[in-house]
Amino acid sequence: MSSMAMIKDFLAQKRIAVVGVSHDPKDFSRGLFRTLQERGYYAIAVNPELGSIDGVPCFASLDDINPPVDGVLVMTPPSVTDDIVRQCAHLGIPRVWMYRAGGSGAVSPQAVEFCEEHGIKVIPGECPYMFFPQAGWFHSLHGFIKRISGGYL
């Protein structure tokens, strides 16, 4: 499956956990969480240090979410991502998106390999904003540049 097909498959799901949502309301992760909600996703926040985010419950781990989600957007340091993908395999969660805008983001080479070995569809990088219709000129431009440069197929 091509990268673009996996991205479309992930975004076609409606029940998505966002792991690593920040306590800071101005943090990028919070904005992305709100955008998912505004676009009709049932976004579920996961952060073991928070009880709620923007008035909705926040779960300590993926194990606490019932029923399980269709996909997990990981916005954690790479060292935490390794544990998250193991939880996904244990819970039978079939899709993982490791967020990255710059630097390594949430991407861990070990976590990517683990996903591939355990049949989890993995998107190792990119920002979901680039794939939302009418996401703003900056995100659209970034996505356009990635497409024409062959950054994803």
Residue 153: inside a domain, yes or no? no
Quote the DSSP letter at residue 69.
P
For the segment 14-73, what is each residue's pLDDT rounded down to a tens digit?
A: 999 999 999 998 888 898 999 899 989 999 999 999 999 988 899 999 999 999 899 999
State the total domains in the chain: 1
CATH no. for residue 73? 3.40.50.720
For 36, 81, 124, the CA distances from 112, given in Å and listed in that order, are 24, 9, 7
- Tell me how crowded residue 80 is: count the other CB atoms within 10 A of its CB: 15
For the segment 100-125, what is each residue's pLDDT rounded down to a tens digit?
A: 866 667 899 999 999 999 999 999 98
Domain coverage including residue 134: 3-148
Residue 121: inside a domain, yes or no? yes
Task: Indicate the pTM of the whole model.
Answer: 0.84
